[in-house]
Structure 1
Amino acid sequence: MRSSNSLPGARDNRLQWPVLAGLCASLVGIGLARFAYTPLIPELIRAHWFSANDAVGLGAANLVGYLIGALSGRPMARRLTNRNALRLMMLAVSLAFFACAFPLSVGWYFGWRLLSGIAGGAIMVLVAATVLPHVPAERKGLASGAIFLGIGLGIAGSGTIVPPLLGLGLQATWLGLGALSLLLTALSWFGWPSEPSSCGTGSAEASPAAPLPKGVYLLFAQYAFMAAGLVPAMVFLVDYVARGLGAGAPAGAFVWIMYGLGAILGPVSHGFLADRLGARTGIRLVLAVQAITLGLLSVSHSVVALASLAVLLGSFPPGIVPLALARVHELVPGHDLQQTAWSRATVSFATFQALAGFASSALFNASGGNHVLLFLTAGGALAVALLLELAARRLPSSIGRQRCLS
């Protein structure tokens, strides 16, 4: 009999561990490795570790690494197995945190931020393919939400853990993040399944060499614009509140905590939307809400209003992942082909995320630190993604509803 306190998507208590391991991996590789840097940017500048331009550029290094990791994740797993690759990437993030406690040079920092991004990209490609084959089809949306909840917990944790650590100094903050990452790596170490379970063989299973359905390429484009749309708030929200509006670091930290609250709610709520409404309808709804929210962010100056908007904004980066994954499963039949499609979707996302990171930095510097311009540009990118989703009405909702992984 299934335990009432099982994590979403677990068949029995034994499957709690793979889902928990996946949560830890997304928490370390993305939640902390990427998002803990955002509230550190003002302090890195104030402590004169780096100039404002360098601090923002170092944030983009993680996004470039994410692209490299998305490209190299599956080849790495073929050599090491999925679980060993995931373990190695979590260890790499921990090491990068410890190394960042010593600001030897911009190049040193860039290299370690790049490595943490590589680890995050590889984890994103591998974690769902490692865990979800063990989850019943009707619960995959919630299960993927539980896995990627780690991203939201990392965002929330960066807003609650980083400020007290900063009271001990920047170096202590980086060392503390490294210790936490190492602890989570140890917690997940034996939770990984050895390899994906088989859903059966025969004509239902597509060959990994088979061409992808045409509809999935539209999703790749759409997912790319989603990536571009989430970067400005993800990177500049705290700086906008703290320095742009002159509200100070405590107000920036408060808004970031609210962003983190939204990030906690996002994965499971968006996964629920995928299970109940379908991924296509869920994506349309979420894109419309996010585009409107970014528009409101551009004209809001009250900390209370910004905190409320931050909850909605925070739900998007981790929440869109289970929705996009569910859409891949709707469009693509067969476990192997789904893995291929998800890997390519992640690469598309990572490419535009990295481009958006550097473009946002360049636009920020060229505009004299105009945060509002960045937020309006992000809203435009999400509007394009929404238009692509509306164009998808002319394409079939699914290509043969074969659901091995879905």
Structure 2
Amino acid sequence: MMTASKSRTFTTITNETATALIGLYCMAVVMGYGRFLFTATLPDIMTQLALSTTIAGWLASVNYIGYFIGALIAMFIPHHITWRALMFGTIVSIVTTILLVIPDMSLSLWYVIRLLAGIASGVAMILSSSFIIQRFSIERRSVLSTVHFAGIGVGISASAILTWWLLTLGFHFDMIWLVAGISSLPLLWLLYAVRPLNVNTSKQAQAQPNAEHRSVRQTYINFKRSLYEAIVGQTKAISLLAASYVLAGFGYITSATFLPVMAAQRLTTQTYAGLLIWLVVGIFAMLSNPLWGALAKRIGEVKTLMGLTLLQALGMLLPLWFDGAFGLYGNAAILGSTFVGMVSMTLNIIKNMNPAYSNLLIGLATLAYGAGQFIGPLVTVALAGENDNFNAGLLVAGIGLLVSFVLILLFRRQSHRAI
């Protein structure tokens, strides 16, 4: 339900379903726009700015290293300021989206903006997941969590539709990013509406900044102690899962960055083929996650993750076996069906290994995923060569995912030994 604060005219939202939908909107903004709108607009960006594939790859990787940094920052954010840090990260994400409307920006400024956008998305993704999901009752948490994570697919779908719509009207990437940013602004009011009720009034919250003021050295010492306590007795299992997650990030990112570019190269007779394929990714990402959640309840999250990893590896190889539309559309459908499920399964598995340190473990996993995503585009453009052939990149991505599957299998055996 919605209740009015006694001392404020602002509305407070407490209904769990409404909160889940706000979480969906947040993920659509900070991930769908902040990260993946770049993929939808990349062919137009490359054309309008005359960018090479190498520069495009570096712009993608800079965003992904920003995501890595953002995840690292989120790990050190005290629990009592989670909502405020989430608001700040969301504001930065929206501002960096709008800034890409500025004409004739230097390439250096592009790098800075995409780096900041990546940092903001990393912070907001982790903190929104932590803040929103903890507001759900235990009975409804599994169902409503899938609604929250479906925001990634909604954002991808919205990025494809928005890009197609404005391109057909004769606009280009700058106007697309501006409209995306403006359409994200209502999120700030909605996030304010789900703020902790004592965020401004609690005397304890006002006193905590002084009580928790620590030196950098003390913060580092506390972090090391928490890290040790989080992984003690499970170091090998967590290392195997983290390594598999690095390769999962590496494996999916070739398609997640360059799929519309590949479509523009191969499907030259189909207008806006790249955007239609990207829309397929979004739709399957949006609809598939609840199915994987139901499957995980029946066979377990680890087995589900293993199946998704094998399926995604198959998807990376399809464009190598089928050069036309079937290979690309099959890749898009499998990519959308698997990557959000792999993220949610891995994060659930690792946080349940030591629930008392779930935020820290989720942060470590996200760092691993971010590292793989940073490396992926650089390897892809290096293998693409002067002819911009992405086949070698897809092959290496598929092999990386197969190795990831083996590591998950070893993790499963290690976990059983530890029980």
Please, what TM-score do these two structures have when normalized by structure 2? Answer: 0.83
Rg: which structure is higher? Answer: 2
Matched ranges for 1:27-38 at <5 A: 27-38=28-39
Matching residue's letter, 2:401: L
Q: Residue 345 of structure 1: CA displacement?
A: 0.6
Q: Which residue of 1 aligns with 2:257?
A: 235
Residue pairs, 1:34-49, within 5 angstroms: 34-48=35-49
1:356, CA displacement in angstroms?
A: 1.6
The correspondence for 2:285, drawn from 248, 260, 263, is 263
Query: Where in structure 2 are the equivalents of 1:210-221 lying within 5 Å?
Result: 210-212=229-231, 213-214=234-235, 215-221=237-243
Q: Secondary structure at the match of 1:134?
A: coil
Offset at 1:106? Answer: 0.5
Aligned counterpart for 1:370 among listed residues 360, 385, 389: 389
Shift of the alpha carbon at 1:237?
A: 0.8
Q: Which residue of 2 aligns with 1:5?
A: none
CA RMSD of aligned residues (A): 2.7
The separation in 2 between residues aligned to 1:195 and 1:298, in whole angstroms, is 56
Contact 1:70–1:121 (CA<8 Å) still a contact in 2? yes
Q: Secondary structure at the match of 2:177?
A: helix
Structure 1: which 4+ aligned runs deviate by more than 6 Å? none
Alignment of 1:117-128 (within 5 A): 117-128=118-129
Using the TM superposition, give the Cα deviation of residue 304 of structure 1 relative to its aligned residue in structure 2, in angstroms. 4.6
CA distance in 1, matches of 2:369, 2:173: 31
Structure-1 residue corresponding to 2:411: 392
- The alignment partner of 2:105 has SS state of coil
Are 1:145 and 1:270, in contact at CA under 8 Å, matched by a contact in 2?
A: no
Q: In 2, Cα distance between the equivalents of 1:217 and 1:195?
A: 39
Q: CA deviation at 1:281?
A: 0.9
Which residue number corresponds to residue 60 of structure 2?
59
Stretches of structure 2 that go unaligned for 5 or more consecutive residues are 1-12, 200-224
Output the CA distance in 2 between the equivalents of 1:288 and 1:259: 18
Instruction: Report the CA distance shift for 1:96/1:49 in structure 2 as closer, same or farther (over 3 A).
Output: farther
Structure 1 residue aligned with 2:349:
327
Partner of 2:401 in structure 1? Answer: 382
Aligned-residue sequence identity (percent) comes to: 26
Q: Residue 307 of structure 2: which of 261, 264, 285 is its match?
A: 285
Could you tell me how far apart the structure 1 residues matched to 2:302 and 2:122 are?
A: 24
Provide the rounded CA distance (Å) in 1 between the counterparts of 2:74 and 2:411. Answer: 29
CA distance in 2, matches of 1:148, 1:192: 20
Mapped contact 1:222–1:388 kept (Cα < 8 A): yes
Residue 399 (structure 1) shift: 7.0
Q: In the alignment, what sits opposite 2:7?
A: none
Instruction: Give CA-to-partner distance per residue, 1:125-147, whole Å, 9 cap, x none.
Output: 22222122333446544333221
Q: CA deviation at 1:168?
A: 2.3
Greater mean alpha carbon deviation, residues 341-350 or residues 386-395:
386-395
CA deviations 1:67-86 (Å, max 9, x no partner) are 110111132x3297111111
Shift of 1:190: 1.5
Correspondences of 1:307-346 after superposition (within 5 Å):
307-332=329-354, 334-335=355-356, 337-346=357-366
1:130, 1:195 within 8 Å by CA — same for their partners in 2? no
Give TM-score, length-normalised by structure 1: 0.85
Q: 1:270: Cα distance to partner? A: 2.6
Counterpart residue number, 1:83: 83
Unaligned stretches of 5+ in structure 1?
Answer: 1-11, 197-205, 401-406
Distance 1:392 1:170 in 2: 43
Aligned match for 1:186, one of 170, 189, 196: 189
Cα distance change of structure 1 residues 209 and 127 upon mapping to structure 2, 3 Å threshold = farther
Opposite residue 349 of structure 2, the aligned amino acid is: R
Distance in structure 1 (CA, Å) of the matches to 2:418 and 2:80: 32
Amino acid at match of 2:396: T
Contact 1:267-1:318 within 8 A present in 2 as well:
yes
1:108 paired with 2:127, answer: no
Determine the C-alpha separation between the residues in 2 that align with 1:179 and 1:79.
30
Q: Which residue is equivalent to 1:350?
A: 370
Relative to structure 1, is the Cα distance of residues 73 and 305 closer, same or farther in structure 2, using a 3 angstrom cutoff? Answer: same
Counterparts in 2 of 1:61 and 1:235: CA distance versus 1, 3 Å: same
Contact 2:319 2:328 in 1 (8 A): yes
| Residue of structure 2 in register with 1:302 after alignment | 324
